[in-house]
Amino acid sequence: MKKEQYVIGVDFGTDSVRSILVNAANGSEIASALFYYPRWKKGLYCQPATNQFRQHPLDHIEGLEYTIRSCISQAGPDAAAQVKAISVDTTGSSPVAVNEQGIPLALLPGFEENPNAMVVLWKDHTAVKEAEAINRHADTFTTNYLQFVGGIYSSEWFWAKLLHILREDEQVRDACSSWVEHCDYIPFLLTGGSNVKQLKRGVCSAGHKALWSNLFGGFPPDGFFASLDPLLKGFTAKLFTETYTADKQAGMLSADWAKRLGLSTDVVVGIGAFDAHMGAVGGQIEPYYLSKVMGTSTCDMLVAPLSEVKGKLVKGICGQVPGSIIPGMMGMEAGQSAFGDAYAWFRDLLSWPLNNVLSQTQLVEADTADALIKETSDVLLKQLSEAAATLPFSAGTELAVDWFNGRRTPDANQALKGAITNLNLATDAPRIFRAIAEATCFGAKAIADRFVHEGIPVKGLIGMGGVAQKSPFIMQMMADVMNMPIRIHRSTQTCALGAAMFAATAAGIYNKVEDAMEAMGQGFITTYLPDETKVPLYALRYQRYLQTGHFLHQQSINV
End-to-end CA, the chain: 71
Residues 458 and 512 placed together within one structural domain of the fold: no
Same domain, 437 and 498: no
Domain assignment present for residue 437? The answer is yes
pTM, entire model: 0.92
What is the pLDDT at residue 41? 96
Within-domain flag for 320: no
- Specify whether 426 is located in the same domain as 508: no
Contacts (Cβ under 8 Å, ≥6 apart) of 201: 180, 181, 184, 239, 240, 242, 243, 244
> Nearest to residue 340, comparing CAs of 385, 286, 308?
385
Q: Find out whether 15 and 90 touch, Cβ atoms under 8 Å.
A: no
Residues 250, 190 share a domain: yes
pLDDT value of residue 414: 86
Number of structural domains (the chain) is 2
Per DSSP, the residues of 291-350 read EEEESSSEEEEEEEEHHHHTT---TTSS-EEETSSSTTEEEEEEEES-SHHHHHHHHHHH
DSSP string, 443-461: HHHHHHHHHHHTT----EE
- Is 226 within 8 Å of 166 (Cβ atoms)? no
Q: What is the DSSP string of 513-549?
A: HHHHHHHH---EEEEEPP-TTTHHHHHHHHHHHHHHH
* CA 285 from centroid of its chain's CA atoms: 16
- Residue 518, in any domain of the structure: yes
Do 252 and 391 reside in the same domain of the chain?
no
Dihedral (C-alpha) 410, 412, 418, 421: value to the nearest 10 degrees?
-40
Q: Kindly state whether residues 53 and 133 are assigned to the same domain.
A: yes
In a domain, 317, yes or no: no
Task: Return all residues near 478 (Cβ < 8 A) that are at least 6 apart.
Answer: 441, 444, 461, 463, 486, 528
| Residues 411 and 505 reside in one and the same domain | no
In this structure, is residue 267 part of a structural domain?
A: yes
pLDDT in tens, the chain (559 residues): 357 999 999 999 999 999 999 999 999 999 999 999 999 999 999 999 999 999 999 999 999 999 999 999 999 999 999 999 999 999 999 999 999 999 999 999 999 999 999 999 999 999 999 999 999 999 999 999 999 999 999 999 999 999 999 999 999 999 999 999 999 999 999 999 999 999 999 999 999 999 999 999 999 999 999 999 999 999 999 999 999 999 999 999 999 999 999 999 999 999 999 999 999 999 999 999 999 999 888 999 999 999 999 889 999 999 999 999 999 999 999 999 999 999 999 999 999 999 999 888 888 899 998 999 999 999 999 999 999 999 999 999 999 999 999 999 999 898 899 999 999 999 999 999 999 999 999 999 999 999 999 999 999 999 998 899 999 999 999 999 999 999 999 999 999 999 999 999 999 999 999 999 999 999 999 999 999 999 999 999 999 999 999 999 999 887 6
| Phi/psi of residue 75, nearest 5 degrees | -80, -15
CB atoms within 10 A of CB 188: 24
Residues 109 and 37 in one domain: yes
Q: Classify residue 291: in a domain, yes or no.
A: no
- Asked whether residue 480 falls in the same domain as residue 457, the answer is yes
| Closest residue by Cα to residue 196 from 177, 210, 215 | 177
CA distance 255 to 251: 12
Whether 184 is in a domain gets the answer yes
pLDDT of residue 1: 35
- CATH number of the domain residue 411 falls in: 3.30.420.40
Q: Same structural domain for residues 253 and 379?
A: no
Cβ atoms of 276 and 301 closer than 8 Å: yes
The answer on 265 and 134 residing in a single domain is yes
329 inside domain: no
Statement to judge: residues 226 and 268 lie in one domain: yes
Going from the C-alpha of 398 to that of each of 20, 286, 302, the distances in angstroms are 42, 36, 32
Name the residue range of residue 30's domain. Answer: 6-283+491-525
